[in-house]
Structure 1
């Protein structure tokens, strides 16, 4: 298995079938339109490949908020259903955590749909906790404004 950062819209568009496990009705046109707005705002994707097969993918971007300072946000986290419970999600979250530390982030945040209990369980097991309606994994409390 190989982890790869996808930084161009073309690289991301090439993996639309994996993203469709999360968003089945996502059209290529809409995806490209959204990515055209997201990529210039620091959005990248991280994918896990076995050869040319994308096993899992997630987007992320860093930003700054008053309460947390610099943070990394996970967005659109999906593992191909055929490869779930095989450590793909953990590979992605471990990679993201190291990336956040390298960027000097205080926290990693994400949203999970309220009815997605499998995702809640997964994120709890990775050290994330709900903070309002966001899940937050604090990496360095000294960088928080709260």
Structure 2
């Protein structure tokens, strides 16, 4: 038998080939799996200059971003809300599949405003509220 050929029962030779369709199917399945399992970066949609922290760590679970700008405006799900509007937080959480909120506050936001938004998130039904920071 020569290399690269197969001999059948009646002595006919056929070329050995690689089936490309199953290979392409597997590549697409792996690509879809990678896309679905990748955690996408969630952005609040406004420019925030986050503070730095030595204790900052990456959040790996899905979350609802809440942004507080330097001017003190609060943004949730693309909408501007009042800092004490728990019903808007509750509605945004209802539209997502998570009960975790990450507050992305500018470094110049007063602590009182940050704490008021933090309390509003819990009043709106959040189970876990974090404050975003850049690692040092």
TM-score (norm 2): 0.33
The two structures have a TM-score, normalised by structure 1, of: 0.31
Structure number with the bigger relative contact order (C-alpha 8 A, sep ≥ 6) is: 2
